[in-house]
Amino acid sequence: MLSNAERLLSRKQITSIVDSTRRTLALWSGSVSAGKTIASLIAFLLAVRVAPRTGLIVVVGRTLQTVYQNVFMPLQSPGLFGSLVAAQVVYTPGATKATILGREVMVIGAHNAEAVGRIQGATIALAYVDEATLLPEVFWNMLVTRLRVKGARLLATMNPASRNHWMRKSWILKADTVDLIHFHFTMLDNPTLEQSYIDRMKRSYSGVFYDRFIKGEWTNAEGAVYPMWDPDRHVIPWASMPAMQEIMGIGMDYGTTNATTALMLGVTAEEKPRLVMMDEWGYSPAEHDGRRLTDAELSRRFRTWLGQQHHPEPDGLRPRFLMLDPAAASMRVQLHNDLRGTGLSPWSADNDVLKGIATIANLLDGDEPRMVVTDRCTGWQSEVTEYRWDEKATTEGEDEVVKEDDHYLDGGRYITHSTVGYWKPMLELAA
Ligand SMILES: Nc1ncnc2c1ncn2[C@@H]1O[C@H](COP(=O)(O)OP(=O)(O)OP(=O)(O)O)[C@@H](O)[C@H]1O
Ligand SMILES: [Mg+2]
Protein backbone atom coordinates (compact mmCIF):
# COMPACT_ATOMS: atom_id res chain seq x y z
CA MET A 1 0.00 0.00 0.00
CA LEU A 2 2.69 2.52 0.96
CA SER A 3 5.08 1.82 -1.83
CA ASN A 4 7.10 5.03 -1.88
CA ALA A 5 7.02 6.06 1.74
CA GLU A 6 7.93 2.56 2.90
CA ARG A 7 11.53 2.80 1.84
CA LEU A 8 11.99 6.24 3.34
CA LEU A 9 10.43 6.15 6.77
CA SER A 10 12.66 7.14 9.66
CA ARG A 11 13.01 4.81 12.63
CA LYS A 12 11.02 7.25 14.74
CA GLN A 13 8.23 7.33 12.17
CA ILE A 14 8.05 3.53 12.01
CA THR A 15 8.08 3.14 15.80
CA SER A 16 5.32 5.70 16.18
CA ILE A 17 3.15 4.00 13.57
CA VAL A 18 3.51 0.65 15.32
CA ASP A 19 3.19 1.94 18.90
CA SER A 20 0.24 4.19 18.12
CA THR A 21 -1.97 1.10 18.03
CA ARG A 22 -1.31 0.41 21.72
CA ARG A 23 -3.58 3.18 23.00
CA THR A 24 -6.95 4.74 22.17
CA LEU A 25 -5.42 8.18 21.69
CA ALA A 26 -2.15 8.75 19.82
CA LEU A 27 -0.60 12.21 19.57
CA TRP A 28 2.28 13.40 17.43
CA SER A 29 3.67 16.78 18.54
CA GLY A 30 6.87 18.64 17.75
CA SER A 31 8.67 20.94 15.37
CA VAL A 32 7.59 21.96 11.89
CA SER A 33 8.39 19.63 8.98
CA ALA A 34 9.24 16.83 11.38
CA GLY A 35 7.37 14.10 9.53
CA LYS A 36 4.48 13.96 12.03
CA THR A 37 1.77 14.28 9.42
CA ILE A 38 3.23 11.62 7.15
CA ALA A 39 3.73 9.11 9.98
CA SER A 40 0.29 9.75 11.48
CA LEU A 41 -1.42 9.52 8.08
CA ILE A 42 0.11 6.10 7.49
CA ALA A 43 -1.15 5.06 10.93
CA PHE A 44 -4.53 6.50 9.96
CA LEU A 45 -4.74 4.60 6.66
CA LEU A 46 -3.95 1.36 8.46
CA ALA A 47 -6.62 2.21 11.04
CA VAL A 48 -9.24 3.02 8.38
CA ARG A 49 -9.00 -0.55 7.10
CA VAL A 50 -9.84 -2.05 10.48
CA ALA A 51 -12.08 0.68 11.90
CA PRO A 52 -15.30 -0.68 13.47
CA ARG A 53 -18.18 -0.43 11.01
CA THR A 54 -20.56 0.71 13.71
CA GLY A 55 -19.16 4.22 14.00
CA LEU A 56 -18.20 7.21 11.87
CA ILE A 57 -14.76 8.06 10.60
CA VAL A 58 -14.01 11.78 10.96
CA VAL A 59 -11.18 14.03 9.83
CA VAL A 60 -10.97 17.27 11.79
CA GLY A 61 -8.92 20.44 11.39
CA ARG A 62 -9.15 24.14 12.03
CA THR A 63 -10.98 24.86 8.76
CA LEU A 64 -11.96 22.81 5.70
CA GLN A 65 -9.24 24.70 3.87
CA THR A 66 -6.47 23.64 6.29
CA VAL A 67 -7.77 20.06 6.34
CA TYR A 68 -7.53 19.99 2.57
CA GLN A 69 -3.98 21.38 2.56
CA ASN A 70 -2.58 19.42 5.48
CA VAL A 71 -4.40 16.10 5.19
CA PHE A 72 -5.92 15.47 1.77
CA MET A 73 -3.19 17.00 -0.37
CA PRO A 74 -0.52 14.65 1.06
CA LEU A 75 -2.91 11.67 0.95
CA GLN A 76 -3.64 12.37 -2.69
CA SER A 77 0.02 12.80 -3.60
CA PRO A 78 1.20 9.70 -5.52
CA GLY A 79 4.80 10.65 -4.62
CA LEU A 80 4.08 10.16 -0.93
CA PHE A 81 1.54 7.37 -0.65
CA GLY A 82 1.72 5.77 -4.07
CA SER A 83 -0.85 6.02 -6.83
CA LEU A 84 -2.95 3.18 -5.38
CA VAL A 85 -3.74 5.11 -2.21
CA ALA A 86 -4.03 8.41 -4.04
CA ALA A 87 -6.72 6.87 -6.26
CA GLN A 88 -8.63 5.68 -3.21
CA VAL A 89 -8.79 9.07 -1.53
CA VAL A 90 -11.66 11.01 -3.01
CA TYR A 91 -12.20 14.55 -1.82
CA THR A 92 -13.33 17.85 -3.30
CA PRO A 93 -11.81 20.87 -1.49
CA GLY A 94 -14.37 22.47 0.79
CA ALA A 95 -16.63 19.40 0.98
CA THR A 96 -17.78 17.93 4.30
CA LYS A 97 -17.57 14.33 3.09
CA ALA A 98 -14.77 12.28 1.59
CA THR A 99 -14.11 8.65 0.73
CA ILE A 100 -10.92 6.99 1.93
CA LEU A 101 -10.16 3.37 0.99
CA GLY A 102 -13.85 2.87 0.26
CA ARG A 103 -15.06 4.17 3.64
CA GLU A 104 -17.12 7.33 3.92
CA VAL A 105 -15.44 10.01 6.01
CA MET A 106 -16.92 13.12 7.60
CA VAL A 107 -14.74 16.24 7.33
CA ILE A 108 -15.06 18.95 9.99
CA GLY A 109 -13.60 22.44 10.37
CA ALA A 110 -13.64 23.08 14.11
CA HIS A 111 -12.07 26.46 14.78
CA ASN A 112 -14.95 27.50 17.03
CA ALA A 113 -17.08 25.79 19.64
CA GLU A 114 -20.11 25.65 17.32
CA ALA A 115 -18.56 22.66 15.56
CA VAL A 116 -19.40 20.62 18.67
CA GLY A 117 -22.92 20.34 17.27
CA ARG A 118 -21.65 18.27 14.36
CA ILE A 119 -20.42 15.44 16.56
CA GLN A 120 -22.80 15.67 19.50
CA GLY A 121 -24.71 12.40 19.74
CA ALA A 122 -22.52 10.71 17.14
CA THR A 123 -20.61 7.49 17.63
CA ILE A 124 -17.11 7.74 16.27
CA ALA A 125 -14.98 4.76 15.36
CA LEU A 126 -11.91 6.63 14.15
CA ALA A 127 -10.86 10.29 14.22
CA TYR A 128 -7.90 12.04 12.65
CA VAL A 129 -7.18 15.54 13.99
CA ASP A 130 -4.87 18.06 12.35
CA GLU A 131 -3.42 21.03 14.33
CA ALA A 132 -5.12 19.81 17.48
CA THR A 133 -3.75 22.55 19.78
CA LEU A 134 -5.65 25.12 17.72
CA LEU A 135 -9.06 23.54 18.30
CA PRO A 136 -11.41 24.58 21.11
CA GLU A 137 -10.99 22.39 24.17
CA VAL A 138 -14.75 21.69 24.33
CA PHE A 139 -14.62 20.25 20.84
CA TRP A 140 -11.73 17.94 21.72
CA ASN A 141 -13.42 16.80 24.90
CA MET A 142 -16.63 16.04 23.05
CA LEU A 143 -14.71 14.18 20.35
CA VAL A 144 -13.07 11.91 22.92
CA THR A 145 -16.41 11.07 24.54
CA ARG A 146 -17.75 10.03 21.13
CA LEU A 147 -15.17 7.21 20.83
CA ARG A 148 -17.59 4.75 22.35
CA VAL A 149 -17.36 1.64 20.19
CA LYS A 150 -14.87 -1.05 21.07
CA GLY A 151 -11.67 -0.45 19.15
CA ALA A 152 -12.41 3.24 18.51
CA ARG A 153 -9.31 5.41 18.12
CA LEU A 154 -8.16 8.97 17.74
CA LEU A 155 -4.94 10.14 16.05
CA ALA A 156 -3.81 13.76 16.23
CA THR A 157 -0.89 15.95 15.20
CA MET A 158 0.06 19.38 16.49
CA ASN A 159 2.81 21.91 17.01
CA PRO A 160 3.44 22.58 20.70
CA ALA A 161 1.88 25.58 22.41
CA SER A 162 2.22 27.02 25.92
CA ARG A 163 3.13 24.77 28.84
CA ASN A 164 -0.26 25.44 30.34
CA HIS A 165 -2.17 24.54 27.22
CA TRP A 166 -5.05 22.15 27.97
CA MET A 167 -3.62 19.57 25.60
CA ARG A 168 -0.44 19.30 27.63
CA LYS A 169 -1.97 19.63 31.08
CA SER A 170 -5.09 17.49 30.74
CA TRP A 171 -3.91 14.90 28.21
CA ILE A 172 -0.19 14.55 27.56
CA LEU A 173 0.80 14.78 31.24
CA LYS A 174 -1.96 12.32 32.13
CA ALA A 175 -1.21 9.92 29.32
CA ASP A 176 -1.64 6.69 31.25
CA THR A 177 -4.88 7.70 32.91
CA VAL A 178 -6.48 8.80 29.67
CA ASP A 179 -5.10 5.89 27.61
CA LEU A 180 -2.88 8.05 25.46
CA ILE A 181 0.51 7.67 23.78
CA HIS A 182 2.52 10.71 22.77
CA PHE A 183 5.36 10.98 20.25
CA HIS A 184 7.70 13.95 20.21
CA PHE A 185 9.21 14.69 16.79
CA THR A 186 11.90 17.10 15.57
CA MET A 187 13.18 17.81 12.07
CA LEU A 188 15.78 15.09 12.57
CA ASP A 189 12.95 12.56 12.45
CA ASN A 190 12.06 13.52 8.90
CA PRO A 191 14.21 11.31 6.63
CA THR A 192 13.90 13.62 3.62
CA LEU A 193 15.16 17.00 4.83
CA GLU A 194 18.35 18.55 3.46
CA GLN A 195 20.63 20.22 6.00
CA SER A 196 20.31 23.48 4.09
CA TYR A 197 16.54 23.37 4.57
CA ILE A 198 16.92 22.72 8.30
CA ASP A 199 19.36 25.64 8.53
CA ARG A 200 16.98 27.90 6.66
CA MET A 201 14.10 26.95 8.97
CA LYS A 202 16.30 27.60 11.99
CA ARG A 203 16.96 31.10 10.69
CA SER A 204 13.24 31.72 10.24
CA TYR A 205 12.27 31.65 13.91
CA SER A 206 13.49 33.24 17.11
CA GLY A 207 12.56 33.33 20.79
CA VAL A 208 9.49 31.41 21.86
CA PHE A 209 8.78 30.50 18.23
CA TYR A 210 12.21 28.91 17.87
CA ASP A 211 11.63 26.81 20.97
CA ARG A 212 8.26 25.62 19.69
CA PHE A 213 8.65 25.31 15.94
CA ILE A 214 12.29 24.23 15.76
CA LYS A 215 12.95 22.46 19.06
CA GLY A 216 9.34 21.30 19.28
CA GLU A 217 9.07 22.26 22.95
CA TRP A 218 6.03 23.35 24.92
CA THR A 219 7.05 26.80 26.16
CA ASN A 220 5.30 29.88 27.49
CA ALA A 221 5.31 33.20 25.72
CA GLU A 222 6.35 35.51 28.56
CA GLY A 223 7.52 39.04 29.17
CA ALA A 224 8.42 41.33 26.30
CA VAL A 225 7.14 40.37 22.86
CA TYR A 226 10.19 41.94 21.20
CA PRO A 227 13.00 41.46 23.76
CA MET A 228 15.61 41.93 21.03
CA TRP A 229 14.52 45.53 20.41
CA ASP A 230 17.50 47.87 20.66
CA PRO A 231 17.20 51.47 19.42
CA ASP A 232 20.96 51.60 18.78
CA ARG A 233 20.67 48.81 16.24
CA HIS A 234 17.14 49.23 14.99
CA VAL A 235 16.61 52.98 14.56
CA ILE A 236 18.16 54.98 11.71
CA PRO A 237 17.83 58.72 10.98
CA TRP A 238 15.14 59.35 8.36
CA ALA A 239 17.43 61.84 6.63
CA SER A 240 20.05 59.20 5.87
CA MET A 241 17.72 56.37 4.84
CA PRO A 242 19.22 54.12 2.13
CA ALA A 243 17.75 54.14 -1.38
CA MET A 244 14.79 51.82 -1.92
CA GLN A 245 14.19 49.23 -4.62
CA GLU A 246 10.52 48.88 -3.74
CA ILE A 247 7.95 50.45 -1.46
CA MET A 248 6.05 47.44 -0.22
CA GLY A 249 3.21 49.62 0.97
CA ILE A 250 1.29 50.85 3.95
CA GLY A 251 -0.31 48.99 6.84
CA MET A 252 -3.28 50.65 8.51
CA ASP A 253 -4.84 49.92 11.87
CA TYR A 254 -8.24 51.48 12.36
CA GLY A 255 -10.04 52.64 15.48
CA THR A 256 -12.93 54.92 16.34
CA THR A 257 -12.15 55.47 20.01
CA ASN A 258 -8.65 54.04 19.55
CA ALA A 259 -5.92 55.35 17.30
CA THR A 260 -5.92 54.97 13.53
CA THR A 261 -2.38 54.51 12.25
CA ALA A 262 -0.47 54.04 9.00
CA LEU A 263 3.06 52.66 8.62
CA MET A 264 5.04 52.66 5.38
CA LEU A 265 7.41 49.78 4.61
CA GLY A 266 10.17 49.72 1.99
CA VAL A 267 12.85 47.30 0.78
CA THR A 268 16.30 48.87 0.43
CA ALA A 269 18.35 48.72 -2.75
CA GLU A 270 21.42 47.79 -0.69
CA GLU A 271 23.62 44.86 -1.66
CA LYS A 272 22.07 43.00 1.23
CA PRO A 273 18.54 44.42 1.19
CA ARG A 274 16.72 45.22 4.41
CA LEU A 275 13.20 46.25 5.28
CA VAL A 276 12.74 49.80 6.50
CA MET A 277 9.72 51.13 8.35
CA MET A 278 10.07 54.47 6.57
CA ASP A 279 7.40 56.74 7.94
CA GLU A 280 4.22 56.76 9.98
CA TRP A 281 0.98 58.65 10.39
CA GLY A 282 -1.64 58.41 13.10
CA TYR A 283 -4.61 60.02 14.74
CA SER A 284 -5.51 59.23 18.34
CA PRO A 285 -8.67 60.70 19.96
CA ALA A 286 -6.91 60.34 23.33
CA GLU A 287 -4.41 62.97 22.22
CA HIS A 288 -7.21 65.34 21.09
CA ASP A 289 -9.48 65.56 24.15
CA GLY A 290 -11.30 62.42 23.05
CA ARG A 291 -12.42 63.98 19.75
CA ARG A 292 -13.29 61.24 17.25
CA LEU A 293 -13.02 61.81 13.53
CA THR A 294 -15.36 60.50 10.84
CA ASP A 295 -14.03 57.96 8.36
CA ALA A 296 -14.13 60.69 5.71
CA GLU A 297 -11.96 62.98 7.83
CA LEU A 298 -9.52 60.18 8.75
CA SER A 299 -9.22 59.29 5.10
CA ARG A 300 -8.63 62.95 4.16
CA ARG A 301 -5.84 63.34 6.71
CA PHE A 302 -4.28 60.02 5.73
CA ARG A 303 -4.25 61.01 2.05
CA THR A 304 -2.67 64.36 2.86
CA TRP A 305 0.13 62.46 4.62
CA LEU A 306 0.35 60.00 1.75
CA GLY A 307 0.97 62.86 -0.67
CA GLN A 308 3.95 64.10 1.34
CA GLN A 309 7.59 63.13 0.97
CA HIS A 310 8.50 59.83 2.67
CA HIS A 311 12.09 59.46 1.53
CA PRO A 312 14.85 62.09 1.76
CA GLU A 313 15.67 61.59 -1.94
CA PRO A 314 12.43 61.26 -3.84
CA ASP A 315 12.77 58.34 -6.22
CA GLY A 316 9.37 58.15 -7.87
CA LEU A 317 8.56 54.79 -6.24
CA ARG A 318 4.94 54.36 -5.22
CA PRO A 319 3.58 52.13 -2.47
CA ARG A 320 2.36 48.80 -3.83
CA PHE A 321 -0.20 47.76 -1.23
CA LEU A 322 -2.46 49.26 1.37
CA MET A 323 -3.05 46.51 3.94
CA LEU A 324 -5.96 47.50 6.12
CA ASP A 325 -7.19 46.14 9.46
CA PRO A 326 -9.55 43.37 8.27
CA ALA A 327 -12.16 44.44 10.85
CA ALA A 328 -12.40 47.97 9.40
CA ALA A 329 -15.34 47.45 7.04
CA SER A 330 -16.56 51.06 6.91
CA MET A 331 -13.07 52.46 6.43
CA ARG A 332 -12.43 50.03 3.62
CA VAL A 333 -15.39 51.42 1.68
CA GLN A 334 -14.30 54.98 2.42
CA LEU A 335 -10.74 54.43 1.26
CA HIS A 336 -11.84 52.39 -1.70
CA ASN A 337 -13.84 55.38 -2.96
CA ASP A 338 -11.36 58.06 -1.96
CA LEU A 339 -8.34 56.35 -3.50
CA ARG A 340 -10.01 55.59 -6.83
CA GLY A 341 -7.68 56.43 -9.68
CA THR A 342 -4.54 56.54 -7.51
CA GLY A 343 -3.45 52.96 -8.24
CA LEU A 344 -3.75 52.14 -4.54
CA SER A 345 -6.73 50.35 -3.02
CA PRO A 346 -7.28 48.82 0.40
CA TRP A 347 -6.72 45.08 0.93
CA SER A 348 -7.64 43.07 4.00
CA ALA A 349 -4.47 42.50 5.98
CA ASP A 350 -3.49 39.05 7.23
CA ASN A 351 -4.33 39.34 10.93
CA ASP A 352 -2.76 36.13 12.25
CA VAL A 353 -1.27 37.83 15.32
CA LEU A 354 1.13 35.07 16.36
CA LYS A 355 2.54 34.46 12.92
CA GLY A 356 2.82 38.21 12.33
CA ILE A 357 4.73 38.68 15.57
CA ALA A 358 6.99 35.76 14.67
CA THR A 359 7.73 37.44 11.33
CA ILE A 360 8.67 40.78 12.92
CA ALA A 361 10.62 39.19 15.81
CA ASN A 362 12.70 37.24 13.37
CA LEU A 363 13.46 40.32 11.26
CA LEU A 364 14.62 42.26 14.33
CA ASP A 365 16.65 39.40 15.78
CA GLY A 366 20.30 38.59 15.20
CA ASP A 367 23.55 40.49 14.77
CA GLU A 368 22.47 41.99 11.48
CA PRO A 369 18.78 42.79 11.82
CA ARG A 370 16.86 42.61 8.56
CA MET A 371 14.47 45.36 9.55
CA VAL A 372 15.12 48.88 10.79
CA VAL A 373 12.84 51.78 11.64
CA THR A 374 13.42 55.45 10.91
CA ASP A 375 13.28 58.07 13.63
CA ARG A 376 10.06 59.38 12.10
CA CYS A 377 8.26 56.28 13.42
CA THR A 378 7.93 57.60 16.95
CA GLY A 379 4.59 55.92 17.66
CA TRP A 380 5.98 52.52 16.67
CA GLN A 381 9.03 53.07 18.86
CA SER A 382 6.99 54.13 21.85
CA GLU A 383 4.91 50.94 21.64
CA VAL A 384 7.57 48.37 20.84
CA THR A 385 9.27 48.58 24.23
CA GLU A 386 5.95 48.21 26.11
CA TYR A 387 4.50 45.31 24.15
CA ARG A 388 4.05 42.29 26.47
CA TRP A 389 2.58 38.83 26.49
CA ASP A 390 -0.53 38.64 28.62
CA GLU A 391 0.39 36.83 31.83
CA LYS A 392 -3.19 35.92 32.68
CA ALA A 393 -3.77 34.37 29.26
CA THR A 394 -0.50 32.45 29.64
CA THR A 395 -1.69 30.95 32.92
CA GLU A 396 -4.75 29.73 31.04
CA GLY A 397 -2.60 28.27 28.30
CA GLU A 398 -3.38 30.87 25.64
CA ASP A 399 -0.94 33.06 23.72
CA GLU A 400 -2.16 36.62 23.82
CA VAL A 401 -0.57 40.04 23.87
CA VAL A 402 -1.72 42.75 26.25
CA LYS A 403 -3.92 44.82 23.97
CA GLU A 404 -3.17 48.32 25.17
CA ASP A 405 -0.97 50.52 23.04
CA ASP A 406 -0.45 48.39 19.99
CA HIS A 407 -1.97 50.44 17.16
CA TYR A 408 1.27 51.46 15.46
CA LEU A 409 2.64 47.96 15.96
CA ASP A 410 -0.50 46.49 14.39
CA GLY A 411 -0.24 48.79 11.36
CA GLY A 412 3.40 47.77 10.94
CA ARG A 413 2.56 44.11 11.38
CA TYR A 414 -0.21 44.27 8.78
CA ILE A 415 2.02 45.54 5.99
CA THR A 416 5.03 43.42 6.97
CA HIS A 417 3.31 40.08 7.47
CA SER A 418 0.78 40.44 4.64
CA THR A 419 3.53 41.02 2.05
CA VAL A 420 5.98 38.39 3.30
CA GLY A 421 5.71 36.51 0.00
CA TYR A 422 6.95 39.59 -1.88
CA TRP A 423 9.85 40.76 0.24
CA LYS A 424 11.18 37.40 1.40
CA PRO A 425 12.73 36.48 -1.96
CA MET A 426 14.25 39.98 -2.19
CA LEU A 427 15.90 39.56 1.20
CA GLU A 428 16.97 35.97 0.74
CA LEU A 429 18.42 36.35 -2.74
CA ALA A 430 21.23 38.42 -1.35
CA ALA A 431 21.61 36.47 1.90
N1 LIG B 1 8.79 9.24 5.36
C2 LIG B 1 8.71 10.21 4.46
N3 LIG B 1 8.79 9.93 3.16
C4 LIG B 1 8.71 10.89 2.25
N5 LIG B 1 8.56 12.21 2.53
C6 LIG B 1 8.46 12.53 3.81
C7 LIG B 1 8.51 11.56 4.85
N8 LIG B 1 8.38 12.19 6.02
C9 LIG B 1 8.24 13.49 5.74
N10 LIG B 1 8.30 13.70 4.41
C11 LIG B 1 8.25 15.00 3.70
O12 LIG B 1 8.47 16.05 4.61
C13 LIG B 1 7.38 16.98 4.60
C14 LIG B 1 7.09 17.39 6.02
O15 LIG B 1 6.59 16.29 6.74
P16 LIG B 1 5.23 16.38 7.55
O17 LIG B 1 4.23 17.13 6.78
O18 LIG B 1 4.88 15.02 8.01
O19 LIG B 1 5.75 17.27 8.75
P20 LIG B 1 4.95 17.77 10.05
O21 LIG B 1 5.75 17.30 11.21
O22 LIG B 1 3.54 17.38 9.97
O23 LIG B 1 5.18 19.32 9.93
P24 LIG B 1 4.21 20.56 10.31
O25 LIG B 1 4.31 20.73 11.80
O26 LIG B 1 4.88 21.67 9.58
O27 LIG B 1 2.85 20.20 9.83
C28 LIG B 1 6.23 16.25 3.95
O29 LIG B 1 5.42 17.09 3.20
C30 LIG B 1 6.92 15.25 3.04
O31 LIG B 1 7.17 15.86 1.79
MG1 LIG C 1 1.78 18.50 9.78
Predicted local distance difference test score (pLDDT) of residue 5 = 45
- Asked if the model's pLDDT at residue 417 lies above 50, the reply is yes
Distance CA 383, CA 302 (A): 20
- Asked if the model's pLDDT at residue 430 lies above 50, the reply is no
- The protein residue with its alpha carbon nearest to ligand 1, atom 10, reads 35
Contact 82, 75 (CB under 8 A): no
Mean pLDDT in residue range 26-42:
97
- Asked if the model's pLDDT at residue 8 lies above 50, the reply is yes
Predicted local distance difference test score (pLDDT) of residue 97 = 98
Query: What Å distances lie between residue 260 and 148, 292, 330, CA to CA?
Result: 52, 10, 13
Distance CA 211, CA 284 (A): 37
**Is the CB of 8 inside a 6 Å radius of any atom of ligand 1?**
yes
Mean pLDDT in residue range 389-398:
90
The pLDDT tens digits of the residues spanning 205-225 come to 888 899 999 999 999 998 999
Mean pLDDT in residue range 47-52:
96
Predicted local distance difference test score (pLDDT) of residue 367 = 85
Residue 344 dihedral angles phi and psi, to the nearest 5°: -115, 135
Pocket test for ligand 1, best of 4, 16, 17, 37 (most atoms within 8 A of CB): 37
How many A from CA of 306 to the centre of ligand 2?
42
How many A from CA of 74 to the centre of ligand 2?
10
Atom of ligand 1 nearest to the CA of 185: 21
346-348 and 321-324 as β-strands: parallel, antiparallel, unpaired? parallel
How many A from CA of 321 to the centre of ligand 2?
31
- Extended strands (E) in 288-399: 321-324, 346-348, 371-374
The pLDDT tens digits of the residues spanning 364-376 come to 998 899 999 999 9
**Is the CB of 16 inside a 6 Å radius of any atom of ligand 1?**
no
Sequence-ordered list of residues with C-beta below 8 angstroms from that of 32, at least 6 positions apart, any chain: 159, 187, 201, 213, 214
In the three-class reduction of DSSP (H, G, I as helix; E, B as strand; rest coil), residue 10 is classed as coil
Predicted local distance difference test score (pLDDT) of residue 431 = 41
Predicted local distance difference test score (pLDDT) of residue 404 = 85
The mean predicted confidence, pLDDT, of the chain is 94
Residue 279 has a CB neighbour count (10 Å cut-off) of: 22
Distance CA 423, CA 363 (A): 12
At 429, the pLDDT band (50, 70, 90 cuts) reads low
Mean pLDDT in residue range 300-321:
96
- Asked if the model's pLDDT at residue 37 lies above 80, the reply is yes
- Asked if the model's pLDDT at residue 26 lies above 90, the reply is yes
216 bridge partner residues = none
Q: Which domains does the chain have, with CATH numbers?
A: 3-213 (3.40.50.300), 231-429 (3.30.420.280)
**Is the CB of 358 inside a 6 Å radius of any atom of ligand 1?**
no
How many A from CA of 40 to the centre of ligand 2?
9
The pLDDT tens digits of the residues spanning 71-99 come to 999 999 999 999 999 999 999 999 999 99
Predicted local distance difference test score (pLDDT) of residue 7 = 56
Mean pLDDT in residue range 278-292:
96
Mean pLDDT in residue range 218-236:
93
- Asked if the model's pLDDT at residue 143 lies above 50, the reply is yes
**Is the CB of 35 inside a 6 Å radius of any atom of ligand 1?**
yes
How many A from CA of 4 to the centre of ligand 1?
13
